[in-house]
């Protein structure tokens, strides 16, 4: 499941509607909604996101958050290491190979490292 899939499911459950009802209202198939919720479809397009925001009548801040979540929810990520030193490519490939086996505490540690790297030294 992706962060967007989780958010979409929560919105739908909060409104008390089925995938079939929502799909009919916003003009997509129930299978597409199911695939989004389960992380089998990539990032939805802006038009779809606007229809979801309108359907749930969510305020601008919440819509902006939903759009941001969609932006980091592609289940098949491509990491471009062209032009970087070899160790970057090795790291990206090793992460891709092992990500499914990482325990939650290791994932948390890696996220903490990434967050720390954002901060100015």
Task: Record the tokens describing residue 8, joined without a space.
Answer: 């979409």
**CA within 13 Å, CB half, 30:** 6
Q: What is the reported pTM?
A: 0.72
- List the CATH number of the domain containing 52: 1.10.260.40
In tens, the pLDDT along 23-79 reads 999 999 999 999 999 989 888 999 999 999 999 999 888 889 999 999 888 888 889
Which residue from 42, 56, 44, 41 is spatially nearest to 10, judged by alpha carbons? 56
**57 domain-assigned:** yes
Shared-domain flag, residues 106 and 63: no
* 91/36 Cα distance (integer angstroms): 29
On the question of pLDDT at 121 being above 70, the answer is no
Q: Structural domain tally of the chain?
A: 2
94 and 36 share a domain?
A: no
Compute the C-alpha angle 37/43/45, nearest 5°: 110
Q: Which two tokens stand for residue 28?
A: 């997509």
Query: What is the model's pLDDT at position 97?
Result: 93
Is residue 17 left, alpha or beta, with left meaning phi > 0 and alpha meaning psi from -120 to 50?
A: beta
d(CA 116, CA 119): 5
Verify that 15 and 66 share a domain, yes or no.
yes
Range of the domain at 100: 86-118
């Amino acid at each position: 499941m992706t962060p967007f899939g989780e958010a979409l499911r929560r919105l739908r459950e909060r409104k008390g509607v089925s995938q079939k009802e929502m799909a009919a209202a916003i003009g997509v198939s129930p299978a597409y909604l199911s695939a989004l919720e389960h992380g089998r479809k990539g990032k939805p397009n802006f038009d779809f996101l606007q229809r979801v925001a309108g359907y749930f009548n969510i305020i601008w801040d919440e819509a902006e958050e939903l759009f941001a979540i969609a932006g980091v929810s592609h289940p098949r990520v491509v990491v471009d290491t062209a032009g970087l030193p070899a160790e970057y490519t090795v790291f990206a490939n090793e992460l891709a190979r092992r990500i499914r086996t990482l325990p939650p505490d290791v994932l948390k540690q890696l996220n903490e490292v990434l967050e720390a790297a954002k901060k100015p030294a």
